[in-house]
Structure formats: C-alpha cells, structure tokens
Chains A and B, each alone.
Chain A
Amino acid sequence: MLQNELFNNVIKDFNAGYWELHTKPDKEIWSQKFYEQVGFDEEEIESTIDYFLEHLIHKDDVDVFRDNFLNYRKNNINFKQHIKILTKEGEYKLFRCATNDQLPVNIKSEINLIFFFEIKLEPEQDIAKDNFYYKETAQMTATGSWYVDFHKRKSYWDFETRRILEYPDDYIPSLKDSANYYAKDCRQQAADLFFNCAMAGTPFNTEIKMVTANKRVFWVRAIGKPVYNENKEIIGIRGVFQDIDDIKTKEIKLQRSIEIIASQNSRLFNFAHIVSHNLRSHTSNLSLLVQLIDGIEDPKEKIELIKEIKQISSSLNTTIEHLNEIVAIHTNRSQERKLIKFQDALKLVTGGIGQMISVSKTKIEADFENLEEINYIPAYLESILLNLITNAIKYKHADRDPLIQIKSYIDGNKKCIEVTDNGRGIDMKLFKDKIFGMYKTFHYNEDAVGIGLFMTKNQVESLDGTITVQSEVDKGTTFKIEF
C-alpha cells in the first residue's frame, strides 16, 4: 500500500478535524470534520488564518496560537495547545491542537497538519486545573518561563525563573544588563541566539551556562522562540530556562572519565606494542645468531659468535629495565604526594648533574614566584626536571651555550611549569607525533636513547596531568606541563 494511501485512510478515520498547511502560496485547507466540529458550513466562514484569528478563536488564545502557528509554518516547530473556538451556536468549544509529531511513527505526512481534538470539559474547571498543572510542572522540572517584550523593552520572568536564578520574588529583570545573567564565556553565544531569534525568527534550544544572583555558575537548557503580532512581525521572544546543572555536571564528569580511560587504554595498548616490539628485536637477533653458530664449521669462529650472546643478553636486560620503569610508574601512582618547593627539587636535580652543567656552560634561570610549591610525588618532579634539563643540554645549539628558563605559574585553575631552552629545536612538522614515543630520537647524537621524554610523559599522565611541546628549529624548545 502506498504511504500516501495509508495516510489518507488513517486521516479519514481520525475523529478530529484538521488543517492542511499548503505552501506556495500559503493557504490552509480545512477538513470537512473541522467544519462539522464548529458547526459552520463552508460558505459561511472564510478558511484563512486571519479570519480564524479575528472571528473564531477565543481572544485569550489568539496571541499564543498565532506564534505557534507561524513557528510551525515557518520553522517547522511542532506545538500543542488548548484553544477555544466559536461554534455556530455562539458558544466556545475547547480543543486540543496537535501537529505532525503526534502522528503514529509509521505515518509520514508530506505536508504540515494541525489537528483539532474536541475536549469535553467544563471551561472554568479546566483553567484552574491548567494553572495548577503549570505550577507543578514548572517546579518539578525546575523549568522557568520568561518573555522579552521588544516594544516595552522589558523582560518578564515567572516565579520559577526567579527561583532557579536565585533572585527574590519581587526582582525585576533587567533587559539592559541581560548579558550578566550568562557566564562570561557564554555571553557571545547568548547574544547570537537572541539576535538571530529577534531578527530572523530563528528559534533556539541549547545548553548554556548562566549565573545566579549569588554568582553561582550553573547549566541550563535555554529554549526560545519568536512571538509575532497580527502583522506577522516579531515583537518579542518567549521561552524557558530549565536547570540541568545536575545532569550536565554528571555528563561532563562522565566525559572526563571517558577521556581518562581512553588515554589509559591507549597507553596500555602502546605499552603492549612496545613490549612486543622491543623484545622481538632481541629474540630475533638471538635466533639469527643461533642459526649462524649452527651453520659455521670453524670452532674458533663459533666461539667468537658465542660472545655476541653476551651483547644481546645485555641489550635485553636494558630493555627489560626500561619496561620495568614504565610499569613502576603506573604502580607508583598511588605513592604519596608531598608538598614540594620547586626550588628544592631543582636544587637537588642540578646538584646531581653539576658536572654536566658546568662543562656545557649551561645557565639555568628559574622563576618560581607565581607558584612556589606543588603537591606531587617528589621523585616524579625530580625525574621530570632532570629529563627536561638534560635534554636541553644534550641537544644544545652548536653556536651558543645552553640557556634554560624554568617558570611555574597558575593558568586558569591549573598549576603549570614551563621549561624553555635555546637549543637546536625539533622539527615539529616531521616529529610532532613522535616526540613522546619510546625509542624515538630526532638528532644524530650517539647517546640518544629515546626513553627520557617517553618516561616524562608517562609520569605526568599517570598523575592525570598533560605535557605539551612547542619548538622551532634553531630557536629552541618549550615543554609545558599542566599538573
């Protein structure tokens, strides 16, 4: 059966009148059932929205229905509304309006429809009930309503908006300072949304940070849509704020733990890869050596080859030691943190490599004024400083003596340290992804092992920090650690 036929059959049996909203040109076709519901004949009334607004709908419902209708027509925003419509008997009947989103899921309509379901209720009883439900819903869902009137240049808040924004019941919202109701980093977003809604009639539905009267920042869902007058001009914006701070905070926390888990997972994967790769290179050498020993007749040469086993065994040991160190980092993470002065840690490190510093004529300038100490695992802080300093000296520039600048500070709510050198620099285009990899070296130094930065990154990350690098060839390198 054709989708359309299915649709037509359903519509025919539907016990409700409806309008078909045609476009090009805009025009509504009212169904036979709709005429029956209000009791008029087709010739007695004009089937236009303007006629409907002026003569048929109850004046209390005109404004909201007009907005809903225009938003539905222009922006495809579905709506639900109770309205009262004049019947031929001269009385108002109550209807529930619904739109395409109320159709059963398997029925798709090609044009927008508005359905009018008759409600058999005493009107007075209904209004009292409506008001009760509205207050209950607002409180239980922490959803406040508001309205911005462009002509009067005023905003209106309901009791719940005042409550979630922590303002007193008699507080009068200010349109002029409305930016202040939003968190600093969300003000541009809010301005854009309201501007687009006011100028182009674009409705919005977004998550945004607001600020309460007590300067508490919290998350709300902000929904707004334009309000039209009878000339179809936008005269205001109506909407709601829902307090979603609990959910959003949980979401952000969840997101953060996903990131941590993902990064731990990737480190584990990386580690498995390292283990497999590094051990393989030794075992394959060993197996090649054994084959060679087997294949050679001369006993003297055989003995020479057996000596090579020593070499392989020692490389294997070194690799295992490196792997042990990495494992140790991740088991040590529960190790006790202590309050350490950066100055003390640096002193300890430079004391240990005094020879290297003086021979290379290295100058170290440290500035710990903005952040003197940190709660960290002492051994890690020392190892991090040691690695970055010895790297700076090892890869110094041929034309100048090494100068290392170390600076600690607070960036936002993060404690940071930066180590900058004037060395050879690293070609970021080539090595960006490899800088912190194991056994990756970027220079021709004989003593480059490619373990230092890998360990540093592991240490920093095992305590939930990050390390980043900026570098320019021939200028120098800056490592930044956020603890």
Chain B
Amino acid sequence: MSHKIGLACIIDDDSMYVNLVKKIIEAKNLCQNLMVFQNGKDALNYFEVILNNLDKNSIPEIIFLDLNMPVMDGWEFLDNFIKIKNKLEKTITLYIVSSSINPVDVERAKSINSVKDYLVKPVTMEDLESIFLNQTT
C-alpha cells in the first residue's frame, strides 16, 4: 500500500452532493484535503493562479467534475483546463461525475483524453473508495 491522496477536488454546484461526498471521504479517510468549487469558472480561476506560482501541494491529484453548472459548465471548464493542464507538471486524474445519462455527453467525455472515466450519479461509496485507492501509485 502506497501513499494516501493528498488533495482532491470537486467541481459541482449541488451542495447536497458535495456535502455527502465530503462526509464519505472523511468517514473512510480517503484523502487528506478536499477542495470544492461551485462552478467551472471558480475552479479555472484557481488553476490559473497556481499556474503562476507553481506550488505542487496546491495541485489536486484527482478532480471530480460535474457537467451541468451555472456560470461555466463542465465542458467549458474542460476546454480551458486542457490548455493549461500540461504546464502544471503533475499528473491529474479527472473524472466526470454527472447525472446526465445522455449518450451524447458520455461519448463526448470518452473522446477527451484527459478524462479518465465518466461516472453517472448516483456514485456509490464503493466507486469512490476504489477510485481513491487505485489512484495511489
């Protein structure tokens, strides 16, 4: 067994969902720190700032991205994130977590290299656990 995940990130506007995932992570002790952004814009702003003063500890190892969000949705975030991703000098695993079961969304997500997988809500506790445990290298 190797190291535990240091920092994970959730980009989702559903506060109830975020709250529950937070509780699961705490209860199962899946990672040390968790960042939450309510929409793509807030998250993107954050990544643009840390790009300027590269602090590896501030870069999450894993991102859970929702699609349907106000202000800036998941797709728009992804477009922008892909452009700056390589400059962050850290492997970031990104999962899309959405309640959309629209096959168009699923196909689109799978066609993007930077997206590791597409999870349909509801996610289960087992899903979350195995993602966090397999993430460790």
- B70 interface neighbour in A280, A308, A442, Cβ under 8 Å: A442
Q: Is the CB of A311 within 8 A of B70?
A: no
CB distance from B27 to the nearest CB of A (A): 6
Q: Which of A270-318 contact B (CB under 8 A)?
A: 273, 276-277, 280-281, 283-289, 291-292, 295-296, 305, 308, 311-312, 315
Stretch at the interface among B47-55, B56-64, B83-91, B97-105: B97-105
Q: Is the CB of B27 within 8 A of A288?
A: no
Chain A residue at minimal CB-CB distance from B125: A291
Q: Is the CB of A292 within 8 A of B71?
A: no
Q: Is the CB of A292 within 8 A of B20?
A: yes
Q: A277-B68, A441-B70 are in contact. Are A291 and B16 (CB under 8 A)?
A: no
Q: Is the CB of B23 within 8 A of A284?
A: no
A439 at the interface (CB under 8 A from B): yes
Which residues of B sit under 8 angstroms from A291, Cβ to Cβ?
A: 24, 124-125
CB distance from B47 to the nearest CB of A (A): 18
Which residues of A sit under 8 angstroms from B116, Cβ to Cβ?
A: none
**A113-126 vs B: 1/0 string, CB under 8 Å?**
00000000000000
**B95-137 vs A: 1/0 string, CB under 8 Å?**
0000111100000000000000000011111000000000000
Which residues of A sit under 8 angstroms from B76, Cβ to Cβ?
A: 430
- A439 interface neighbour in B19, B70, B121, Cβ under 8 Å: B70
Chain A residue at minimal CB-CB distance from B97: A284
A364 at the interface (CB under 8 A from B): no
Which residues of A sit under 8 angstroms from B125, Cβ to Cβ?
A: 288, 291-292, 295
Q: Which of A5-52 contact B (CB under 8 A)?
A: none
Give CA–CA (A308, B19) in the complex, Å. Answer: 10
Which residues of A sit under 8 angstroms from B27, Cβ to Cβ?
A: 292, 295-296
Chain A residue at minimal CB-CB distance from B28: A295
Q: Is the CB of B70 within 8 A of A285?
A: no
Q: Is the CB of A288 within 8 A of B99?
A: no
Q: A295-B27, A450-B70 are in contact. Are A311 and B16 (CB under 8 A)?
A: yes
Q: Which of A179-232 contact B (CB under 8 A)?
A: none
- A285 interface neighbour in B20, B24, B68, B101, Cβ under 8 Å: B20
Q: A280-B121, A441-B70, A448-B70 are in contact. Are A273 and B102 (CB under 8 A)?
A: yes
Q: Is the CB of B99 within 8 A of A280?
A: yes
Give CA–CA (A309, B123) in the complex, Å. Answer: 17
Q: Is the CB of A289 within 8 A of B20?
A: yes
Chain A residue at minimal CB-CB distance from B18: A285
Q: Is the CB of B17 within 8 A of A285?
A: yes
CB distance from B84 to the nearest CB of A (A): 19
CB distance from A385 to the nearest CB of B (A): 25
Q: Is the CB of A292 within 8 A of B122?
A: no
Q: Is the CB of A285 within 8 A of B122?
A: yes
Q: Is the CB of A285 within 8 A of B124?
A: no
Give CA–CA (A439, B13) in the complex, Å. Answer: 11
Chain B residue at minimal CB-CB distance from A282: B16
CB distance from B11 to the nearest CB of A (A): 15
B34 at the interface (CB under 8 A from A): no
CB distance from B72 to the nearest CB of A (A): 8
CB distance from A408 to the nearest CB of B (A): 32
Q: Is the CB of A284 within 8 A of B70?
A: no
Q: Is the CB of A288 within 8 A of B20?
A: yes
Which residues of B sit under 8 angstroms from A308, Cβ to Cβ?
A: 16, 19-20
Give CA–CA (A75, B112) in the complex, Å. Answer: 53
Which residues of A sit under 8 angstroms from B14, Cβ to Cβ?
A: 281, 285
Q: Is the CB of B17 within 8 A of A284?
A: yes
* 12 A-B contacts (beta carbon < 8 Å): A277-B68, A277-B99, A277-B100, A280-B121, A281-B14, A285-B122, A288-B123, A295-B125, A296-B27, A308-B16, A443-B71, A450-B70
Query: Chain A interface (Cβ within 8 Å of chain B)?
Result: 273, 276-277, 280-281, 283-289, 291-292, 295-296, 305, 308, 311-312, 315, 430, 439-444, 448, 450
Supplied contacts A285-B16, A315-B16, 4 more A-B pairs, CB within 8 Å: A288-B17, A295-B27, A308-B16, A450-B70
